[in-house]
Amino acid sequence: MEPEANKHEEAQPVALVIDDSVDVHRLLRARLKPEGLELVQALSGPEGLTLAVSRTPSVVLLDLDMPEMDGFEVLRSLKENPATQHVPVIVLSGLQSPQDKVTAFDLGAVDYVTKPFDLTELRVRVRAALRLSQLLTMLSQRAQIDGLTGLWNRAHFDKRWPDEVSGCVRHGRALSMAILDMDHFKSVNDTYGHPAGDAVIQGMSTLLQRECRQSDVACRMGGEEFAVVMPDTNVEAALVLCERIRVAFEKQVWPRHPERHVTTSIGLVGSSGSATLSAEEWIEAADQNLYRAKAEGRNRVVATDVTPRARLAQAG
């Protein structure tokens, strides 16, 4: 499993061009080719708004003077939609009045290029907008990455988990989620100091990154608590993974305190598809299993299969 930040950096950036002139599309296709961009073309405002959501462009080049829906209206819609509001928009326009430029910038455009434009100049302006886009993406990802471990943090889990549950409910896909909490972690901190505690937390992070698959999402929820989201995984397969993590963690020898092993308790809830739990209910059920694992002696996995009419699966 790798942080998703890397995936974004490798993808070919998409530039969405919204302009009713086929000439502009042609010329940009020729002139922006060396930039390694994938150009997506829209010949009207409504078509552009649809593509802005479905293609998640890194930059939008937007004409103002279009029939049906003008560029100002398109720009306003892009900035009002949370899915598109952070995409840098360069306005390409024949309208040259200062008021048009002020309006475009007030609505959120990052640049304004007047037609007929110099294509070499446009190219460097697109580059600048792409740099801005990359920085915004990086900032947004940093805000969702845990500083100590490099795993996704609670904010990312809160954002991602409801989508995963919706996918499970709507498309009947399998889904499992585990909450892990280290046993007696406070005494590690108290006995060996916080740097030793931090090393154990980092050790768990390394273990999760090694054991989880590319599709799994491992998060540090806070303190010594972690969560692992396992899309397209039923509870039986998730239980195998959780057991592997539990056993590997228990066996780990810590350089700062080789005499003291650390264990983890795990609450797991999974479904083979079409679960009827809400995202919150799912977390609550995993929490309850975690408490049971603690109450039954710690260093164990307690699992529940929430597939409709499924049998209860447990392991210890």
Partner 1 sequence: MAQPNPAWGASPPLPSLYANDPSMKDVVEEFIGDIPERVRSIRAAFESGNRVDLTRLAHQLRGAGAGYGYPALTSAAGALEDQLRALSSDGALSAVAQEVDELIMLCERASRGGRNGSD
Q: Which is nearer to partner 1, 31 or 261 (CB)?
A: 31
Q: Which is nearer to partner 1, 19 or 146 (CB)?
A: 19
Residue 40: CB minimum distance to partner 1, A: 17
Residue 33: CB minimum distance to partner 1, A: 7
Residue 101 sits at φ, ψ, to 5 deg, of: -65, -45
Q: Which is nearer to partner 1, 115 or 294 (CB)?
A: 115
Sign of CA dihedral 138, 141, 145, 150: negative
Which among 46, 1, 258 has a CA at the least distance from the CA of 151? 1
Residue 182 sits at φ, ψ, to 5 deg, of: -65, 145
* Cα separation values, 98 from 101, 114, 115, 121, Å: 5, 11, 14, 20
Residue 37: CB minimum distance to partner 1, A: 14
Q: Which is nearer to partner 1, 122 or 303 (CB)?
A: 122
DSSP 123-173: HHHHHHHHHHHHHHHHHHHHTTB-TTT-SEEHHHHHHHHHHHHHHHHHH--
Q: Which is nearer to partner 1, 20 or 232 (CB)?
A: 20
Burial annotation 210-235 (CB, 10 A radius, 16+ → b, else e): ebbeeebbbbbbeebbbbbbbbbbbb
Q: What are the residues binding partner 1 (CB under 8 A)?
A: 21, 23-24, 26-27, 29-31, 33-34, 65, 94, 115-117, 119
Which among 248, 273, 282, 244 has a CA at the least distance from the CA of 263? 248
Residue 29 sits at φ, ψ, to 5 deg, of: -60, -45
Tokens of residue 204, six digits:
């768990």
Q: Which is nearer to partner 1, 21 or 44 (CB)?
A: 21
Helix, strand, or coil (residue 186): helix
Residue 28: CB minimum distance to partner 1, A: 9
Residue 77: CB minimum distance to partner 1, A: 23
Residue 88: CB minimum distance to partner 1, A: 22
Q: Which is nearer to partner 1, 48 or 270 (CB)?
A: 48
Residue 57: CB atoms within 10 A of its CB come to 26
Residue 18: CB minimum distance to partner 1, A: 14
